[in-house]
């Protein structure tokens, strides 16, 4: 069974729905990073500020390292990735990490982007519908 890491934003409510669609299609879809919810990054920031940590120090703290190692272990485990748009900076870093590891990395847009970006060419392919994406994942 092919494993797919779903990359996306904590605020994107479509993440678990895409996960369900990929699981229904027979993939091992990883979207468990989504469970902490929309405010996870803000809570982490506020917590480290209360402790008096700088951003650089906060990144090295146990809480950040635990989440980072969790995510990275699943990025390493999965065969390929799909970045569900819209996604933020972290998502783009994760997609680049996967492609840099020689794995396939796809982008699923929710609509035609207003701002075109030529660096999207780093992706294995782009899609605007789940059906076409699933077919490409089966053939990947």
Q: Enumerate the domain spans of the chain.
A: 3-34+77-139
What is the pTM assigned to this prediction? 0.94
What is the rounded (10 degree) CA torsion for 7, 112, 128, 78?
-20
DSSP H or E stretch at residue 105: strand 104-108
* Dihedral pair phi/psi, residue 80, rounded to 5°: -160, 175
Encode pLDDT of 90-132 as tens digits.
999 999 999 999 999 999 999 999 999 999 999 999 999 999 9
CA 74 remoteness from chain centre: 11
- Considering the domain delimited by 3-34+77-139, tell me its CATH architecture: 3-Layer(aba) Sandwich (3.40)
Predicted local confidence at residue 9, as pLDDT: 96
Strands lying side by side in the sheet with 80-84: 28-30, 3-7, 80-84, 104-108, 125-127
For the chain, give percent helix, strand, coil, nearest 5.
Answer: 50, 15, 35
Give 44-95 pLDDT, tens digit per residue: 999 999 999 999 999 999 999 999 999 999 999 999 999 999 999 999 999 9
């Amino acid at each position: 069974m092919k494993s797919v890491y779903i990359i996306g934003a904590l605020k994107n409510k479509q993440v678990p729905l895409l996960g369900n669609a990929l699981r229904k299609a027979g993939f091992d879809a990883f979207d468990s990073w989504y469970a902490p919810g929309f405010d996870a990054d803000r809570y982490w920031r506020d917590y480290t500020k209360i402790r008096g940590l700088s951003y650089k120090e906060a990144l090295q703290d146990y809480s950040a390292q635990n989440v980072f190692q969790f995510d990275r272990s699943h990025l390493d485990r999965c065969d390929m990735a799909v970045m569900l748009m819209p996604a933020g900076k972290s998502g783009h870093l994760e997609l680049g990490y996967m492609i840099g590891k020689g794995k396939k990395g796809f982008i699923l847009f929710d609509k035609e982007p207003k701002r075109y970006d030529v660096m999207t060419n780093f992706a294995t392919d782009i899609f605007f519908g789940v059906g076409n994406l699933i077919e490409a994942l089966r053939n990947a």
